[in-house]
């Protein structure tokens, strides 16, 4: 938008909203949402002035929500399509099948999105949940429903606790992997060789099916507790 005439900058192009989201995503992933101004976003998107964010999204917060939602929709679609195909074949029959649906699509996401959503989740978790729940996280919920049937028999509180552990673990590993993608000093082979994601998926399964070795008193106390309520982000 020309700040003198009030008209939209013609150099922005037809895909200006997409360019703004891509530029913002890269900047947010590197510096966090609070470390980036709308002027910097517009400049990185190749616009001549800083009015694009306000014009297309209304505010920086609305832009952040749009970026969260875009990634969540893409990830949810991949997971739901995979679950539909698996259920059509009569599955799932193993924890690993569901873990693959949880993990593999996330490893294919833009590294900037992984870093962005992980960083935002540590500072503005409620904003992330508000932007995606429950509309764009149905696939993750379907995966948990299958896991409950396939996991060793545990109290609901213990099952949900393992899901919380799993989600934190998956986010942490994917975030570390995404950081390695842009850090030229790191050994990329540890994260990106063909065996790395396979090994990662195996460890997620191990977390879910680990033997329970809690004392009787602990189990009795847990049995009196309400199950943990899951708060699911796009990665878990």
* pLDDT tens for each residue of 178-216: 888 776 666 667 777 778 899 999 999 999 999 988 888
The answer to whether residues 15 and 68 belong to one domain is no
Q: What confidence score (pLDDT) does residue 229 get?
A: 59
Q: What confidence score (pLDDT) does residue 121 get?
A: 86
User: For 96-116, what is the mean pLDDT?
Assistant: 93
> Is residue 29 very low, low, confident or very high in pLDDT (cuts 50, 70, 90)?
very high
pLDDT in tens, 34-82: 999 999 999 999 987 778 899 999 999 999 999 999 999 999 999 999 9
The answer to whether residues 17 and 63 belong to one domain is no
Distance separating alpha carbons of residues 50 and 23, to the nearest angstrom? 13
The Cβ of residue 225 has, within 10 Å, a number of other Cβ atoms equal to 12
Q: Per the domain annotation, does 5 fall within a domain?
A: no
| Residue 12 predicted with pLDDT over 60 | no
The answer to whether residues 46 and 98 belong to one domain is no
User: For 128-146, what is the mean pLDDT?
Assistant: 89
Distance separating alpha carbons of residues 73 and 144, to the nearest angstrom? 18
Q: Per the domain annotation, does 217 fall within a domain?
A: yes
Q: Per the domain annotation, does 201 fall within a domain?
A: yes
Query: Which of 90, 145, 120 is closest to 234 using CA atoms?
Result: 120
Q: Per the domain annotation, does 1 fall within a domain?
A: no
Q: What confidence score (pLDDT) does residue 230 get?
A: 58
Instruction: Assign residue 40 the CATH number of its domain.
Output: 1.10.10
Instruction: Assign residue 118 the CATH number of its domain.
Output: 1.10.357.10
Which of 23, 38, 58 is at the close of a domain?
58
Give the residue with greater pLDDT, 13 vs 163: 163
Give the residue with greater pLDDT, 13 vs 2: 13
pTM: 0.84
Q: What confidence score (pLDDT) does residue 1 get?
A: 34
The Cβ of residue 169 has, within 10 Å, a number of other Cβ atoms equal to 15
Contact 71, 108 (CB under 8 A): no
User: For 129-152, what is the mean pLDDT?
Assistant: 90
| Residue 5 predicted with pLDDT over 70 | no
Q: Per the domain annotation, does 152 fall within a domain?
A: yes
Domain total of the chain? 2
| Residue 3 predicted with pLDDT over 50 | no
The answer to whether residues 150 and 81 belong to one domain is yes
Distance separating alpha carbons of residues 215 and 183, to the nearest angstrom? 44
| Residue 228 predicted with pLDDT over 90 | no
Determine the structural domain holding residue 30 and report its residue range.
10-58
| Residue 7 predicted with pLDDT over 60 | no
User: For 7-25, what is the mean pLDDT?
Assistant: 75
User: For 149-163, what is the mean pLDDT?
Assistant: 88
């Amino acid at each position: 938008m020309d700040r003198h005439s009030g008209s939209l900058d013609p150099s922005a192009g037809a895909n200006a909203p997409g360019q703004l989201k891509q530029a913002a995503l890269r900047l947010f992933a590197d510096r966090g949402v609070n470390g980036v101004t709308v002027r910097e976003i517009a400049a990185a998107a190749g616009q001549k002035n800083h009015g694009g964010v306000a014009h297309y999204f209304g505010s920086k917060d609305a832009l952040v929500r749009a970026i969260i939602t875009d990634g969540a929709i893409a990830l949810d679609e991949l997971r739901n399509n995979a679950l539909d195909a698996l259920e059509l074949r009569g599955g799932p029959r193993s924890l690993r099948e569901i873990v693959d649906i949880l993990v593999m699509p996330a490893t294919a996401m833009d590294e900037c999105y992984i870093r962005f959503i992980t960083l935002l989740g540590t500072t503005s978790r409620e904003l992330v949940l508000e932007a995606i729940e429950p509309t764009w996280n149905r696939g993750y919920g379907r995966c948990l429903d299958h896991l409950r049937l396939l996991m060793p028999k545990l109290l609901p509180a213990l099952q949900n606790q393992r899901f919380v552990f799993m989600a934190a673990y998956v986010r942490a590993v994917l975030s570390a992997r995404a950081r390695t993608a842009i850090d030229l000093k790191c050994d990329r082979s540890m994260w990106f060789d063909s065996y790395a994601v396979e090994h990662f998926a195996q460890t997620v399964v191990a977390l879910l099916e680990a033997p329970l070795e809690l004392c009787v008193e602990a189990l009795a106390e847990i049995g009196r507790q309400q199950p943990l309520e899951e708060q699911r982000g796009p990665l878990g």
